[in-house]
Structure 1
Amino acid sequence: MIDRRQLLRSLAIAAPSVLGIGAVGQALAQDARAARLIAANVCQVTPATTQGPFYFDPRLMRGDIRDGRAGYPLALRLQVVDAACRPIQGARVDVWHCDAQGNYSGYPGQQQGDLSGETFLRGAQVTNQAGRAAFRTIWPGWYQGRTAHVHFKVLVGERDLLTGQIFFPDRFSRAVFDQLPDYARDSTRGRIFNDQDGIARRAGQGAYAEVTQVEGGFEAAMVIGLADDRGALLSRS
């Protein structure tokens, strides 16, 4: 099995950056910097997607959601903005996802059995003045019929303003799943990637994070854009 340092080197050789090469990518990056955004999906309204069957609110306000779960380190940086790219302060962002072997905490019937009472890979943060929230986690694994993804909610009080999913470029997932022992399986039957996942296809590019290599892992950044009515609701609260 390849080690983490070799994985980073192989990704650096294999493909260009997520933003792409050329005038369009450079222009998007410049627009993002001008608006003080953390990613270049400038002023897009983030699509709502299904909540999925494995949500519950453990009421855990924490940035490090790993709970000792093995996997490739991922720094997840999110920024909540309104439709005019204005940062939204004070929104609660909940995230949850499966572990390297496709298990969700808090539910029975997982591949590792009954995980009721567990809360790994779940947590929440409140956005700061720049609309930002950050989490330390691991690269999500896969389970039958789903590509790698992270679920999120944006809430104010008990009001759910947006429920969505975050997706990642396939080349990162392929490298992690194929080369790191924490993600090894006896069989890859049922493993799919973005173009085969109906939820990812319907969500489109506005649901994809920009992934970069950092020391010891990956960093994924995404701007979560709220529609006009939802952004206004939050700003009035």
Structure 2
Amino acid sequence: MIDRRQLLQRLAIAAPSVLGVGAVLPALADEARAARLIAATVCQLTPETTEGPFYFDPRLMRADIREGRPGYPLALRLQVVDAACRPIEGARIDIWHCDAQGNYSGYAGQEQGDQRGETFLRGTQMTNQAGRAAFRTIWPGWYRGRTAHVHFKVLLGERDLLTGQIFFPDRFSRAVFDQLPDYARDSTRGRIFNDRDGIARRAGQGAYAEVTQVEGGFDAAMVIGLSDDRAALL
């Protein structure tokens, strides 16, 4: 039997620290540090992607969205900026994603039955003066035909400024899915990764978080860049 400490050690070996997708020019990394951005994808507009069928607003202003759901710990840090990389304060960020077994809260017909009335892995935060918001969650699982991802919305009141999805490097997802029992499934039929997910391919590099292995879990950071016309509504 392998205890949790050994599993974490194996994951640390299998999934060493990397930046999201593609090389990042040193000049961009320097600019990100100078501007105090949390990720090096500076001045890159975040692509709009499909909302999907599982959004609802449980009106839960909270940073920890786990509700005891099992899974590998993930600290998700987001920062909202305009096209000139200026942080935007007071934006509302909603996130939601499936659990380790591919279930979304609040809906029937899930992998493990009816999840209506549940609110796990959903939450809202407001960005601070630096445009930042952070969530404590778990690494998202997978369901048929979709790679691991987290949904998000940036809103002003009830106005949806940007709806998108956050993707992660495959090497981390593979390590989690293959080695942690919380993610074990009777069959991996229908499991795909980024290169076969049409939404991830269309979204491109601007939708990928930078992921780092930290003690006891993963840290993921992404800068959400709003176009000038969207940022002007804030």
TM-score, normalised relative to structure 1: 0.93
Deviations 1:54-75 (A, max 9, x none): 0001111000000110000000
Deviations 1:151-208 (A, max 9, x none): 0000011110000000000000000000000000010000000000000000000000
2: CA distance between counterparts of 1:194 and 1:153? Answer: 21
Please tell me whether the aligned partners of residues 100 and 140 of structure 1 are also in contact (alpha carbons under 8 angstroms).
yes
Please tell me whether the aligned partners of residues 90 and 126 of structure 1 are also in contact (alpha carbons under 8 angstroms).
yes
- Give structure 2 stretches of 5+ with no counterpart: none
Indicate the residue corresponding to 1:71 in structure 2. Answer: 71
Change (3 A) 1:62 1:210: same
Deviations 1:23-50 (A, max 9, x none): 9543332121011100011110000000
Q: For this pair of structures, how many residues does the alignment match?
A: 232
One-letter code of the match for 2:99? D
2: CA distance between counterparts of 1:151 and 1:54? Answer: 10
1: CA distance between counterparts of 2:111 and 2:78? Answer: 29
Indicate the residue corresponding to 1:53 in structure 2. Answer: 53
Please tell me whether the aligned partners of residues 148 and 167 of structure 1 are also in contact (alpha carbons under 8 angstroms).
yes
Alignment of 1:96 with 2:99, yes or no, is: no
Deviations 1:81-133 (A, max 9, x none): 00000000000000000000000000001111111010000000000000000
Alignment of 1:120 with 2:120, yes or no, is: yes
2: CA distance between counterparts of 1:4 and 1:173? Answer: 17
Change (3 A) 1:210 1:122: same
TM-score, normalised relative to structure 2: 0.94
Deviation at 1:18, TM superposition (A): 2.2
2: CA distance between counterparts of 1:77 and 1:51? Answer: 20
Change (3 A) 1:15 1:98: closer
Percent of pairs with identical residues:
88
CA-based RMSD:
1.7
Alignment of 1:30 with 2:56, yes or no, is: no
Alignment of 1:85 with 2:85, yes or no, is: yes
Other structure's SS at 1:29 match: helix
Please tell me whether the aligned partners of residues 28 and 42 of structure 2 are also in contact (alpha carbons under 8 angstroms).
yes
2: CA distance between counterparts of 1:168 and 1:45? Answer: 18
2: CA distance between counterparts of 1:12 and 1:109? Answer: 35
Please tell me whether the aligned partners of residues 80 and 225 of structure 2 are also in contact (alpha carbons under 8 angstroms).
yes
Other structure's SS at 2:83 match: coil
Indicate the residue corresponding to 1:216 in structure 2. Answer: 216
Alignment of 1:182 with 2:216, yes or no, is: no
